[in-house]
Amino acid sequence: MQTTAHLSIQRSKERGFADHGWLQTYHSFSFADYFDPRNSNWGALRVFNDDVIAADKGFGTHPHRDMEILTYVLEGELEHKDSMGNVGVIGPGGVQYLSAGTGIAHSEYNHSAERPLHLVQMWVTPRARNLKPQYGQVDYAREERLNRWLPIATGEPNVESKIAIWQDASAYVARLENGSLDFAVRAKRFAFLFVAQGDLTANGTTLGPGDAARIAGPLDLTVAGNGEAVLWDVPPADGE
């Protein structure tokens, strides 16, 4: 990774990758068979996976616990079922939230029998263990994130979002069209900027699809260009 001041860049090709036939998956942090002891998290952000799932395929029922899991759909439709009886389908721009807490089992499938599904799934460590499991989903229109930071999940009292998570963290998405957005990364905070589609710059550094910038505050971040961005603002991990 190249590093300048408090901003480091992870290029798309530097991520872990696995081809399972029905699943093409990139890991920004250590996950499953990809393990790098120097790259296990960025603050409280533990997982950031960039997945393309083949038509009519998906993840069968599997368990989770003590993790805040957020899924953002870029293309296609995601179908969810869980052990609490929740069933839902979300499309592009939609967000699915699962707080695993004391334990929950769920399945995730491509709802379409014809088209692939492209999504990013992100895990954040919660502020406490053994919480009550929760599920939610929200559909957003493209205009709600056009040339603005749209908060899609938060556990911060000064940020408003339709999804509440059990961590002092916030997730944002933005669709930039010849746009420029600023974000102030506070002292003792970590930010993770991911380019899902298009070409953007972060403080003048060019980023393409799959590239990410990691920021340790305090730093004023400026994102510009044409593309789809996901941004996390998180506290340090326990022990950092």
- pLDDT value, residue 4: 46
188 domain-assigned: yes
Query: pLDDT (tens digit, 9 = 90+) per residue, 109-149?
Result: 999 999 999 999 999 999 999 999 999 999 999 999 999 99
Beta-carbon count within 10 A of 240 CB: 10
Q: Could you tell me if residue 240 is inside a domain?
A: no
In a domain, 230, yes or no: yes
What's the whole-number mean pLDDT along residues 17-27? Answer: 97
Q: What digits encode the pLDDT tens for the residues 90-106?
A: 999 999 999 999 999 98
Give how many domains the chain has, as a whole number: 1
Residue 221 to residue 215: CA distance in whole angstroms = 9
- Its domain, for residue 189, covers 2-234
Whether 106 maps to a domain, the answer reads yes
The encoded tokens of residue 103 equal 């334990």
In a domain, 82, yes or no: yes
For residue 239, being part of any structural domain is answered with no
Is the pLDDT score of 1 beyond 70?
A: no
For residue 60, the tally of other CB atoms under 10 A from its CB is 9
- 195 falls within a domain: yes
Is 158 part of a structural domain of the chain? yes
Query: Which has the closest alpha carbon to 115: 57, 195, 60?
Result: 57
pLDDT in tens, 188-218: 999 999 999 999 999 999 999 999 999 999 9
CATH code for position 128: 2.60.120.10
Q: How many CB atoms lie within 10 A of CB 87?
A: 9
Is 2 or 181 the better-scoring residue by pLDDT? 181
Could you read off the pLDDT of 32-85 as tens digits, one per residue?
A: 999 999 999 999 999 999 999 999 999 988 989 999 999 999 999 999 998 988
pLDDT confidence bin for 238, thresholds 50/70/90: confident
